Structure 1
Amino acid sequence: MAAKEKTGNAFVETIKTIFWALLIAGVFRTLFFQPFWIPSGSMKETLLIGDFLFVNKMAYGYSYASCPSLMLPGVGIEIDAKDVCGVFDGDNERLFGSEPERGDVVVFRHPVSGRDYIKRLIGLPGDKVQIKNGVISLNGTPVEVEDAGRFEEVMAPQGPQQLRPRCENGPVGQGATCVKSRQIETLPNGVSYPTLNITNQQSDNTGVYTVPEGHYFFMGDNRDNSADSRLAQRAGGVGFVPFENLIGRADRIMFSSAGRSMLFFWTWRGDRFFEAVR
């Protein structure tokens, strides 16, 4: 009898331990930092496929989007932030809210799909944004752009999705060098970062976007390979992003893997560990 009681008590204690561990992890992820794995090349070279970072959720305060989503469709688990915190959705306000700064690299919820995206903040509420020949114009003034050589990478499948990069030097074979033009872009507040160009396409020349109050305009640093605010939501883009949809700011890369899995230690990028995101 004593043995059964001991076994039963051990089982109950294990359940309690798991419960408290999950609760603490949930609170930590909701209030402080959320892990984010870079799945695509839309933010190259600032962020590469396979970079793993923690998103600072304290940077902009809290909204319904601060609640974590758990999307594991392969095992039938799809818990969206709105399922947990949807009662707080709709007022476009935040608790302890703080305005983001132009040039921040931000993780946010897509206004339609609810999926997490990461892009650079270009346009603030009230701004007029236009792209002319690939150069951003803010409120009628082009941003400063300086040529900065080339970005090179090997033509090969990248990351868990085995995505292949697009190249400015045309279609190249497996193992060949894939090239993109590189520029340094500087915003009016002095924030500078590299951008990449692949070709001249429709998104390099746009009309004028007037950013509504309480919304933001985002773009990827890999300009010709990014679905961002240049494309309307109804067309599969991001459009203008409401303040309440911001999740947090990307401050630092914690870990990076160039392979299909973070467990493949021979593909780790040791030079990107703990690198600041700028």
Structure 2
Amino acid sequence: MSVAGEKYKAERGGLGETVKIVIQALLIAVVVRTFLFQPFNIPSGSMKATLLVGDYLFVSKYAYGFSKYSLPFSPDLFTGRIWASPPKRGDVAVFRLPRDPSVDYIKRVIGLPGDKIQMIDGVLQINGQAVKKEKVDDYTTTDEFGTEVRVPRFRETLPDDKLPNGSIHKGISYEVLDLDPHSMWDDTPIYEVPPDHYFMMGDNRDNSTDSRVLAAVGYVPFENFVGRAELVFFSVKEGDPAWQFWRWPWTVRFDRIFKTI
């Protein structure tokens, strides 16, 4: 074989190996995204101050098992969940909006199947018992004009729950914001969570369309859960595009990177 022929064969072999590596990488990415972790970004302030606009996070797809919404394009291959593991109270979870399953929402699990949920004078009530709520330092932010704004912030501590296996899930603590002490959602009727459904709420209580709004969100079927939010892997300031990498030294919120949820 001539030198030119050997060179062509080597180049073709090198190209074939490159294509093989690219295909393998794409398959691995599809498997990871479908069955393990999926990235999401936060477009609204409904979960402040836990999650901020501009946060990018990983959601574990396997945490609750798999439904059709775990798969790309949500093919109608089966109903319910495979290897189901129910959400725990306090989880921050991504789910498909019941009235429009093409839309992803992220909220906190507040009510479990069979629970009675209510807000009375801004205090969360679970099965007739007030959730512990303590005032902490105000949350400081800026408005659209760049003026510093202080928002009342509280720490809620959820009650302990007994799991089906008999163990106790310790009630977690997290922070909520109270933009308006007399919001229309500070006093609600009693919501009775149906079987196999969950009651979801945003941590930014007066700026969250959640299960309190039955016509918009309402009770979320277990099947609609996509996964549990685990980790913020990247974060840029609100209003700054993440793709403008040349501005990262000034726009990236480095203190939020690798922040667990």
TM-score, scaled relative to structure 1: 0.80
* Mapped partners of 2:94, 2:203: distance in 1: 14
- Which one-letter code corresponds to 1:184 in the other structure? R
Q: What fraction of aligned residue pairs are identical, expressed as a percent?
A: 48
Structure 2, unmatched stretches of 5+, are 161-170
**Cα distance, 1:10 vs. partner?**
7.0
2:96 counterpart residue number? 109
Q: Deviations over 1:222-264 (max 9, x none)?
A: 00111110112xx3x2111111111111122112111522223
2:66 counterpart residue number? 62
1:164 counterpart residue number? none
1:242 counterpart residue number? 221
* Pairing 1:7-156 to 2, within 5 Å after superposition: 16-68=20-72, 81-82=73-74, 85-88=75-78, 91=79, 93-114=80-101, 115-156=103-144
2:189 counterpart residue number? 207
- Which one-letter code corresponds to 1:24 in the other structure? I
> Does residue 272 in structure 1 map to residue 253 in structure 2?
no
- Which one-letter code corresponds to 1:110 in the other structure? L
Bigger Cα displacement from structure 2, 10-19 vs 239-248: 10-19
2:202 counterpart residue number? 220
Structure 1, unmatched stretches of 5+, are 69-80, 157-173
**Cα distance, 1:16 vs. partner?**
4.9
1:193 counterpart residue number? 174
**Cα distance, 1:201 vs. partner?**
2.1
**1:203 is paired with a residue of what secondary structure?**
coil
- Which one-letter code corresponds to 2:77 in the other structure? V
Aligned pair partner of 2:236 in 257, 260, 273:
257
Q: How many residues align?
A: 240
| RMSD across aligned positions (CA) | 2.0
Q: Deviations over 1:66-124 (max 9, x none)?
A: 113xxxxxxxxxxxx32xx2222xx3x31111111100111111112221111000000
**Cα distance, 1:18 vs. partner?**
4.2
**1:202 is paired with a residue of what secondary structure?**
coil
